[in-house]
Homo-oligomer: A and B are copies of this chain.
Amino acid sequence: MCYKLAPVGTDAAFQRARRPEQKQQRQDAILDAARQLALRDGVRNVSLTDIAEEVGIHKSALLRYFETREQIFLELTAQSWLGWAQALHAGLDGGSPGSADLVADVVARSFADRPLLCDLIPHTALNHERHVSTSAVRRYKLTSLRAISDAADVVRRVLPDLTGDECREFISTMANLAGSLWQIANPPPALARLYTSDPDLALACVDFVPRLRRTAVVLLAGMVPSRSSA
């Protein structure tokens, strides 16, 4: 993603960030700080002030690089989608044709290995896309839709009996489920203790990878047989 940066002003802390590569360094430092805080505290708990403090700059200086807190997280989400698509390539390029179980394994693991992406997904439509400019949403959408298309193509090379639309449908559904299941599978400690200690609440405990993998297997098994149902 390429963001057009606002011109850097005369603020002492940022005087040296005049060349494009220096601006890029600032931007990367902000994204790194947001990533670390979100992984430690959860996306919901990270404010713009937290990020500015972590980078060691003033909030007003940070806002020369990003429109809002939400744009920082949208950019992190876009970057995460690209890394996620690469992981699907790594796990599936060269996979034996026809192995739906391999696809289910790799797709489930691609989300399990990316807790930040899983945490970011439900916040995207709910919050982040609602607090940035339309052009920032457009850039984000182009990246995420391309990653989904890329992932669907990877799946289709392993499962050539499926259509392109079916592979995209599979990947989109898995992404939405990964986002919602991850929140349910990672409750705060007090609730985790409640769910494991109270037999009436046993079904509230969700084991992320097996559940996601199982749904992938069911979806892939259902694609061809369901074609007759309009």
Bound state CA distance, A220 and B142, in angstroms?
32
Which of the 9-residue segments A64-72, A73-81, A198-206 touches chain B? A198-206
Closest CB pairs A-B (n = 5): A222-B222, A221-B222, A221-B226, A125-B183, A218-B222
Identical subunits present: 2
- The answer, yes or no, to whether A5 is at the interface (CB within 8 Å) is no
Binds B, one of A17-25, A46-54, A89-97, A187-195: A187-195
Tell me, yes or no, whether A57 is within 8 Å of chain B by CB: no
The distance from the CB of A123 to the nearest CB of chain B, in whole angstroms, is: 8
Chain B residues, Cβ within 8 Å of A219: 215, 218-219, 222
List chain B residues, Cβ under 8 A from A204: 141, 145
A201 touches which of B138, B200, B222 (Cβ 8 Å): B138
